[in-house]
Structure 1
Amino acid sequence: MSERQALQQLPKAAFGQVISAEANYVRVNISHLDASAAADSSPEATSSSGSSSSSSPSSSQDEDAEQLLHSRHASNSQASSSSSSSSSHVPPPRTQLLCTVRALLKKINQRVLVGDRVRVHGIDWLEGRGVVESVQPRSSELADPAIANVGHVLLLFGLTQPPFEPQQVSRFLVSLGASGLPVTLALNKCDLLPESEVTLRLQQVASWGYHAVAVSCETGQGLNEVAQALQGAVSVVAGPSGAGKSSLINALRMGRHKPEAAGLVGAAVAAAEAAGADEQDCEESDQAADGYTGSSSIEQQQQQHASPSAAADPARSFLAVGDVSKIGRGRHTTRTVTLIELPFGGLMADTPGFNQPTLDRVASADLARLFPEFNAAVEAQGGCRFADCMHLAEPGCAVTAAELERHEHYVKFLAEIKAREEYDVRVMQLAKQRREGALKVVSGRGGVARYEARLDQKHRITSRRRQKQQLWDDSTEEQQE
């Protein structure tokens, strides 16, 4: 049986993970075939139960197809007795598919994010195409950057070019800290500053309650410590544009942050070079053994995304990096979120840079706990006087008494979050009024129901308790000003 016929016998559905998304297309890494689709598509499932002799030719054809596919993936091969039960053990002939998203998912506002585990159906194995039919439940989801099912966050900032901005760093720490995922903080471009300035910046971050790693993609400093934090995990690197996120991934994967740069030294670099050489040898032997060509353009794209050594020219596997602008800002070289395999184990998502991550998923009541130095100050002072202290101007507040550096960042973030929450409340109230209408039912004497006009809040009489509370709020604002 030819390989084309063998591919046609395969099930048309499989499971995988989205590794990149752009415009209306997503690229899916296929992990395994769908056993239920294999059972439905097998000739034995469609034949009658009483005719065993008529099903034997089709079963033999399926076994031939499986043997051909097993020969291409000898390391993962295991023969099965029946086609329907063994199809789930057959490795997929393609590791990646270029897919569109089912229109129904768009109608129900189901976004397909990078990192999602999806079911792909209607697969054309020859052309490497398919349709994302459904999205499996997510273990985690981030808004900025938009990615799902990650277990670790690497925050990367530049010590210079672009300059280190404490408020921007605090905003990233708060936004991503609200997700509950472990965060590793790295400060890049430490080779461009004197060691004394780097030490002062590390001490500043340590006073916030975080451990930061000084990294240099040019010299290789700190790469081993970052590699240990990323090993075996699905991570995402986030930070402002120009911080060096793509350069860091290049250094971890290729041993240098760009093709023309000098090679680095370190355990992480040695693992990258060894893994790259092994993958290149394996892929060359597989291609020589099977002789399958398929669609050349799709195959080339798959090789470029699969591993750093997939292409003949190593420079093609480097992520694009750009120089900062004349004013020391990033140029937004990376424009899409992409999951990339690391040579020492794990996946890393390269993301576009942005300066202001959203705080939409942070509640005003939870903001203070996202500042580790606030929690330490409260514990050291035995707590604030009031249990619901917002750490603004309340008497007996342990945070304001400590005079912490990031307290002004907290005040700005809290004002922004409260403004958003008040806006959300007004929107909900307007929606409720539209649902209920302009009249309300009131029970009178004898249980007789009658309709009355529903008054707006401005027509109601304000209670004395509310008036006193308003006076207290106004006086607090005047003291802060």
Structure 2
Amino acid sequence: MLEGTIIKGIGGFYYVKVDDTVYECRARGLFRKSKITPLIGDRVLIKINKEDNTGYVEQILDRITELKRPPVSNVNQAVIVFAVQKPDPNLWLLDRFLLLASYQKLDVIICINKSDLDLDGKADEIYDVYNKAGYRIIKTSCKTKEGIEEIRNLLKKKITVFAGPSGVGKSTLLNNIQANLKLQTGDISQKTSRGKHTTRHVELIELDLGGWVLDTPGFSTLDIDFLEEEELENFFIEISEKSTLCRFSGCCHNKELGCAVKEAVDNGEISKSRYDNYLSMLQEIKEIRRY
């Protein structure tokens, strides 16, 4: 059997790259019986049919990481892309992306794209909030080329997922990072002011500089039903750090007295938008657990 990587999956077919050759494969029925679905990024063993050079996925090797949405495996880095405008940044959604990436123990880079459209300093405001929270942020523009080389250097020898809402410029960024990718790009819908979906499937793309990237379809929600209330603060870096100073152990930083987190919000040490998003997610988890 040959060992390779699933780089694309469409309509029940999996495209497995082995060295410089890509084989079209089906998955064995045993995966369906075991309710296991091969994922993009999986390292697999395949058996080749010499008559037509197609194959079957016989075994999925152990996964290092696994994301549910987008459904990919073995990623070790996430570039979360949001635009300064067109569409306007949704920080509530950004915080959910950050939570999921942290839960999967991925290295995270926040990319504030379309910086050439920033006429009112919005990019700097977002930068300050998330830099203070402990994240790495890069401002990029495909028109001025700001930040492109910095992003490119961070992709070397990594498997990186590019995630974010539709229309923020993920595919355009990747086309600027490597010109021969020629990924389909789209404009913003004039009717909804939202991005039009241009990426139709998840695909692992090999880079000339060494490394792989995943350009994923845009999406607008991330479930957090896997979390317990007391776990949530662990995925808000600045809240977790301040929580050690709370008067009572088990403080949820909501209505408790002597809460160091609420005090930090009041004096500007913690962003109110981040805190509000934390409270929103906390309430969501409580509602989930209630039922």
1:366 counterpart = 2:291: no
Deviations 1:178-212 (A, max 9, x none): 11111111011111122733323322332333231
Q: Distance in 1 between matches of 2:114 and 2:228?
A: 34
2:52 to 102, 110, 127: 127
1:408 counterpart = 2:270: no
1:19 counterpart = 2:7: yes
In the TM superposition, 1:340-379 aligns within 5 A as 340-378=205-243
Give unpaired runs (5+ residues) of structure 2: none
Change (3 A) 1:126 1:247: farther
Structure-2 residue corresponding to 1:418: 286
More helix by share: 1
Q: Distance in 2 between matches of 1:329 and 1:130?
A: 40
Change (3 A) 1:217 1:361: farther
Structure-2 residue corresponding to 1:339: 204
1:321 counterpart = 2:246: no
> If you compute each CA radius of gyration, which structure gives the higher value, 1 or 2?
1
1:250 to 141, 165, 175: 175
Structure-1 residue corresponding to 2:34: 108
Structure-1 residue corresponding to 2:254: 392
Q: Distance in 2 between matches of 1:230 and 1:203?
A: 24
Matched-pair contact (CA < 8 Å) for 2:243–2:251? no
Q: Given residue 184 of structure 1, which amino acid in structure 2 is its aligned partner? A: I
More strand by share: 2
In the TM superposition, 1:198-213 aligns within 5 A as 198-213=123-138
Where relative contact order (Cα < 8 A, 6+ residues apart) is larger, the structure is 2
Matched-pair contact (CA < 8 Å) for 1:96–1:128? no
**Percent identity of the aligned residues?**
34
Matched-pair contact (CA < 8 Å) for 1:144–1:358? no
1:159 counterpart = 2:45: no
Q: Distance in 1 between matches of 2:105 and 2:172?
A: 27
The alignment's TM-score, normalised by the length of structure 1, stands at 0.57
2:242 aligned counterpart, secondary structure: helix
Q: Distance in 2 between matches of 1:214 and 1:126?
A: 51
Deviations 1:38-59 (A, max 9, x none): xxxxxxxxxxxxxxxxxxxxxx
Q: CA RMSD in A?
A: 1.7
Deviation at 1:113, TM superposition (A): 0.4
Deviations 1:400-456 (A, max 9, x none): 122241222111111212332343xxxxxxxxxxxxxxxxxxxxxxxxxxxxxxxxx
Q: Given residue 277 of structure 2, which amino acid in structure 1 is its aligned partner? A: H
The alignment's TM-score, normalised by the length of structure 2, stands at 0.92
1:418 aligned counterpart, secondary structure: helix
2:101 aligned counterpart, secondary structure: helix
Matched-pair contact (CA < 8 Å) for 2:108–2:136? no
1:367 aligned counterpart, secondary structure: helix
Q: Given residue 242 of structure 2, which amino acid in structure 1 is its aligned partner? A: A
Change (3 A) 1:128 1:319: farther
Q: Given residue 259 of structure 2, which amino acid in structure 1 is its aligned partner? A: C
1:238 counterpart = 2:102: no
